[in-house]
Amino acid sequence: MNTKIEANQRRSAHYHPSIWETERIESLSTPYSYELNAVRLEELKQTTRCSLRTTKDTSILLNLINSIQRLGVSYHLENDIKHAISRAFYNRPDDLDRQITSATTNTDLYMTALRFRVLRQHGFSASSGCQEWKLATSLISQMDETKNMSLLEFARLDYNLLQSLYQQELKGLARWWKDLGFKDKLSFARDRLMEN
């Protein structure tokens, strides 16, 4: 009997009101939308694809692939990156081992590490026969001095369009949360859409 009374008298937590009011969420706006920017996004994507296809120098190609990955737009170009790596490094079956061996003597440590990481990251086998590979992989940094402005614009536009999409989704969720009336119907639940 005593436990029944205790169960009915549960403590109520008094939470601070949420800073994310529905009106605040619905007031979020952005000048970016897929309807207005889809053509430009596709143009920049095609420009980057063309760069991947036409780049002959493997060090420039590796820097381009590295930049694409670090800017977060590689999901648009996964197949193109795989084809570019295959074309650059797998023209002949034994060519890769020869290139990797000569990479340690003909190029700097940065390019050696970059070549090793990019190949391994995309599922290509690259032997780690040289002892310098372990040191080289830790030295990869954003030392790229060349800037590809169309790639930067592509990444910026992609980021802003994704943020716009997330804002629209958040607005829809806020309306759904308010329309269902969780705050009034479920007194035991917190009125915190963003934290749930």
On whether the CB atoms of residues 34 and 166 are closer than 8 A, the answer is no
DSSP summary character for residue 20: -
Q: CA-based angle 193:188:178, to the nearest 5?
A: 35
* Mean pLDDT along residues 63-88: 92
Res. 122 pLDDT band, cuts 50 70 90: confident
**Beta strands per DSSP E along the chain:** none
Task: Check: CB of residue 161 under 8 Å from CB of residue 32.
Answer: yes
Band of pLDDT at residue 25, cut at 50, 70 and 90:
confident
Rounded Cα–Cα distance for residues 79 and 58 (Å):
18
What is the predicted pLDDT for the residue at 157? 95
In the block, residue with structure tokens 């716009």: 164
Q: What is the predicted pLDDT for the residue at 156? A: 94
Total-model pTM: 0.68
Q: What is the pLDDT of residue 103?
A: 47
Q: What distances in angstroms separate CA 76 from CA 2, 39, 42, 72, 108, one per listed residue?
A: 63, 15, 10, 9, 30
Band (143; pLDDT cuts 50, 70, 90): very low
For residue 86, the one-letter residue type is: S
Share of the chain above pLDDT 90, in %: 32
CA 49 to chain centre: 18
Query: What pLDDT band is residue 9 in, cutting at 50, 70 and 90?
Result: low
More confidently predicted of 7 and 178: 178
Does residue 58 sit in helix, strand or coil?
Answer: helix
Instruction: Work out the pLDDT band at 99, boundaries 50, 70, 90.
Output: low
pLDDT in tens, 11-23: 666 667 777 777 8
Give the model confidence (pLDDT) of 160-187 as tens digits.
Answer: 999 999 999 989 988 888 888 877 777 6
Q: Is the pLDDT of residue 137 over 60?
A: no
Residue 170 CA to residue 193 CA, distance in Å, equals 9
In the predicted model, what is the mean pLDDT of the chain? 77
Residue 109: predicted pLDDT = 79
User: What is the structure's pLDDT at 134?
Assistant: 43
Task: Give the DSSP letter of residue 139.
Answer: T
Give the Cβ contact number of residue 115 at 10 Å.
26
